Amino acid sequence: MNTHEAFMREAIRLSREYMEQGLGGPFGCVVVKDGEIVGRGWNKVTSSKDPTAHAEVSAIRDACAHLGSFQLSGCTVYTSCEPCPMCLGALYWARPDKVYYGNSKADAAAIGFDDSFIYEELQLPLPKRSMPLEPLLAKEAKLVFDAWVAKEDKIEY
């Protein structure tokens, strides 16, 4: 299996299989490196009681464990749906070379998975967001950041 279409079909297959098993929403994802699948994920939100257990996040975790790395450089991601804001952020942090997707975010919204409110919220100033974000103990927290800057054996990412 080494074509873009074959890898996307595997992501779609995962989305259907685990959705039909009742483990979560209809989303699947694979991570590929050097023509081989190194990570698989599917939506596990409801079955794991974890709102972050989206297909892409699950596939990233699986691939990183398989590769022994916290980055996916040299990898390509195939996901059955355009990533939500959380997954998009995770993908940027993971740094794959490219991401292919099947369904669009508009397709997802049409079946009840609408994340446009998150994009809208992110455009608002902090005091106007529906979820309050307020700084607390910033000076104490900054001391840890200062220690990170001074740490000589840190692994940067």
Phi-psi group of 34: left, alpha or beta (phi > 0 → left; psi -120 to 50 → alpha; rest → beta): left
Q: Which of 1, 4, 27 is nearest to 97 (CA)?
A: 4
Distance CA(105)–CA(110), nearest Å, equals: 9
Q: Which of 5, 113, 88 is nearest to 13 (CA)?
A: 5
Instruction: Pick the catalytic residue from 56, 121, 134, 152.
Output: 56
Taking residue 107's Cβ as centre, other Cβ atoms within 10 Å add up to: 13
56 is catalytic: yes
Catalytic site residues? 56
